[in-house]
Amino acid sequence: MARYLLLCWRDSSHPQGGGSERYLEHIGRYLAASGHEVVFRTAKYRGAKRVEVSEGITFRRGGRRLTVYPRACLFLLRERAAARMGRREAFSAVIDTQNGVPFFAAAASGAPTIVLTHHCHREQWPVAGPILARFGWWIESRLSPLVHRRRQWLTVSQPSAAELATLGVPAAHIAVIRNGVDPVPAGISAGTPAERAPGPRLVVLSRLVPHKHVEDALSLLAELLPDSPDLRLDVIGG
C-alpha cells in the first residue's frame, strides 16, 4: 500500500470550492479505492472539521486563504521527520495543486511531486490589484516553472499544456488528463432533439465571481445579436 498526499487550497465542501477541488478528490477516491492511503491537506473554513474521513480520503484542514500554504509546508516537514524516525510511512508521491500559486511542496516533502494546474491565471490576476497581481503572476509564470522544471506537470487540456510550455515548462514533462462529466442522475431525462430550445442558446456555467470574467460572455452576446437576434444567453451559477 502506498501513501499519497494531495494539496489544494480548498476542498469541494468549502463554500468557495469548485471544479478544481472535485477533480483532485476524484483522483483521491480512485487511489483510496485501489487500497492506498490518501491524505488531502487543505484550508479550514468556519464549521469545518480539522480532520475528517470521507470516501476513503483523510481530509486535514489548517490555515485560511493565505496561511494554508505555510501551514501545509509545516505539515509536510513534520510528516517527513516522523517518517525518518520510523513513526509513520513516508509519502510515496505528492500532488501540488497550483491555483495560481503552488505550495512548493517539492522543497519540503522529499517525495516525487506532481504539479497540477487547470489553467494559467494571466487574465485573472489583475482582479487581485496591481501589486499582488504582478507578484502572483511572477510566481506562476517565472518562479514555479523554474523551481519545478524537472517535475511532472499535469493539466486538463491541450491549450493549457501549450500555455505552460510557453512559460518554460518542458513539453515532455506535461501530461493532459481531461475533466470528466458526471452521469445524468437517475430519474432525470437527458432530453431529446424535440425538446431543444427553438432558437440558438449559449450557456455559461460558473461561480459568479469577478475573476471568472462572466462579462466576456455578455460582450460576445452583444457582438452576435445583430446577426442572430433570437440568440439567448443563460448564466448559471452562484
Is 94 in the same domain as 130? yes
Residue 209: inside a domain, yes or no? yes
Residue 104: inside a domain, yes or no? yes
Q: Residue 173: count other Cβ atoms within 10 Å of its Cβ.
A: 17
- pLDDT exceeds 90 at position 52: yes
Is 131 in the same domain as 218? no
**HEC assignment per residue over 195-238:** HCCCCCEEEEECCCCHHHCCHHHHHHHHHHCCCCCCCEEEEECC
- pLDDT exceeds 80 at position 238: no
- pLDDT exceeds 80 at position 195: no
- pLDDT exceeds 80 at position 210: yes
DSSP state of 55: T
- What does the mean pLDDT of the chain come to? 93
Q: What is the mean pLDDT of residues 186-213?
A: 82
H helix or E strand, kind and range, residue 106? helix 106-109
Residue 123: inside a domain, yes or no? yes
Query: What nine digits make up the cell of 226?
Result: 445583430
Q: What is the mean pLDDT of residues 185-210?
A: 82
Query: Domain holding 124: CATH number?
Result: 3.40.50.2000
Is 143 in the same domain as 206? no
Interatomic CA distance for residues 61 and 44, integer angstroms: 5
Contact call for residues 164 and 120 (beta carbons, < 8 A): yes
Q: What is the mean pLDDT of residues 49-70?
A: 95
Is 207 in the same domain as 146? no
Residue 69 binned pLDDT confidence (cut-offs 50, 70, 90): very high
Structure-model confidence comparison of residues 76 and 65, the more confident one? 76
Is 85 in the same domain as 132? yes
Is 206 in the same domain as 138? no
Final residue before a domain boundary, out of 145, 176, 207: 176
What domain range is 226 assigned to?
193-236
Q: pTM value?
A: 0.86
Residue 186: inside a domain, yes or no? no
Lowest mean pLDDT among 53-67, 111-125, 143-157, 182-196: 182-196
Is 13 in the same domain as 116? yes
Residue 181: inside a domain, yes or no? no
Residue 185: inside a domain, yes or no? no
Residue 227: inside a domain, yes or no? yes
Counted domains in the chain: 2
Of the candidates 196, 148, 190, 184, the one whose C-alpha atom is nearest the C-alpha of residue 169 is 148
- pLDDT exceeds 90 at position 114: yes
Interatomic CA distance for residues 157 and 101, integer angstroms: 19
Q: What is the mean pLDDT of residues 205-221?
A: 89
Q: What is the percentage of the chain residues whose pLDDT exceeds 70? A: 99
Is 8 in the same domain as 110? yes
Structure-model confidence comparison of residues 192 and 72, the more confident one? 72
Is 169 in the same domain as 197? no
Is 164 in the same domain as 218? no
Is 138 in the same domain as 218? no
In the chain, count H helices and then E strands. Answer: 7, 10
Q: What is the mean pLDDT of residues 86-106?
A: 95
Residue 39 dihedral angles phi and psi, to the nearest 5°: -115, 130
pLDDT for res 155: 98
